[in-house]
Amino acid sequence: MNRFIAFLRKEFFHIFRDPRTLVILFGIPIAQLLLFGYVLTNEVRNVKIGIVDNSKDYLSIKLSERILSSGYFLLAATPATESEYEGLFRSSKVKEIIVFEPDFARNLIKEGKAGIQVIADASEPNAAQLIVNYTTAIANDFVRDEFVKEQKLPGIAIKVRMLFNENMRDAYNFIPGLIAVILMLISAMMTAITITREKESGTMEILLASPLKPIQIILGKVVPYMILSIVNALVVLILGYFVFEVPIVGSLSLLLAEILLFIFLALSLGILISTFVNNQVTALALSGFVLMLPSILLSGFIFPVKNMPIALQIIANLMPPRWFIEINRTVMLKGGGLAEIWPHTLILIGMSLLFIVISIRKFKIRLQ
């Protein structure tokens, strides 16, 4: 028994003296718990909305104030004409626009019913439905509070219009996001594993000693994955269009150019990861934890970024898929052009250049 206890002590000693094992045992579960705990939420937070008050009476003003003081919504615009609505949605300046009918207070008091129109950005259908539900609940609570002494409560007729996805189909949300996840998987993860395999097996030194230049070696490794990534992206677009009937409202050439940019970024990120690790297992674990999990949870693919805590929003903004998915939704579903997506495009270009520069410097250090 003493021998067995001594053996157990030795094993615990080896576990606790290895930082990588401790990260796997304690770090990853804690990180996943915090991520899922804060990201998996049905709460609405800081949703940017526009309000069009065609009545401007005391009840419409009080209801607007109630909505804005609820803590769920922020006033981002007060569009004057209907032609401004889609422009605000395309540029992602608002997620919802509330339109009050004329004579809102008079209709509510004298006729017992008044109407408002709620227009929501349904390119993210789950989030849009949640936003509309919150708005409806606030309006109903407002009526009960204002007319608490009335025997028969008046009602607010809410006319809902879902923009860019009238039928609220989930495919409109998943197809643009799925492109990002697939490209990240193929381009970044497979590139990192492939280059690391050469280093682990010792063949990288042989390749470096060959007449091939280092840049030619890297290109030879990444070009096949670039071609396969392009093919996969086209397959997803074709299946999404013909099978799931997801439209491409905007410019197809612009969308393809953005896809090529993201593939280049993902390849650069894969090369960067390969410069920091020396074996395939570490490359796979690092790619999976650093790339795949955040790409799904923190990119806006499933859960809206605006609903996350500020700390996670900052981390999400560092995730390349977060900007690429926004580009896809803007071009495919909203018909937006370069005028709406140029900030996102510049971010992707900046990230690509940063990854390439760090990779080159790191590669040169390793050669020395």
Average confidence score pLDDT of the chain: 81
Rounded mean pLDDT of 104-109? 89
Q: What tens digit of pLDDT does each residue of 49-90 get?
A: 999 999 899 999 999 999 999 888 999 888 877 778 888 888
pLDDT higher at 297 or 32: 297
pLDDT higher at 279 or 121: 121
**Size of the chain, expressed as the number of residues it contains:** 368
Rounded mean pLDDT of 140-158? 80
Which secondary structure element, helix H or strand E, spans residue 12, and what is its range? helix 2-17
pLDDT higher at 222 or 261: 261
Quote the CA–CA distance of 159 and 132 in Å, as a whole number.
10
Rounded mean pLDDT of 127-155? 84
Secondary structure class of 88 (helix, strand, coil): helix
Q: What tens digit of pLDDT does each residue of 290-310 get?
A: 677 777 777 888 778 877 777
pLDDT at 367: 46
Domains located in the chain, CATH noted: 2-39 (no CATH), 47-163 (3.40.1710.10), 171-367 (no CATH)
Asked if residue 10 has pLDDT above 50, the reply is yes
| Structure letter (DSSP) for residue 187 | I
Q: Lowest mean pLDDT of 80-84, 208-212, 258-262, 322-326, name the range.
A: 208-212
Which secondary structure element, helix H or strand E, spans residue 156, and what is its range? strand 155-163
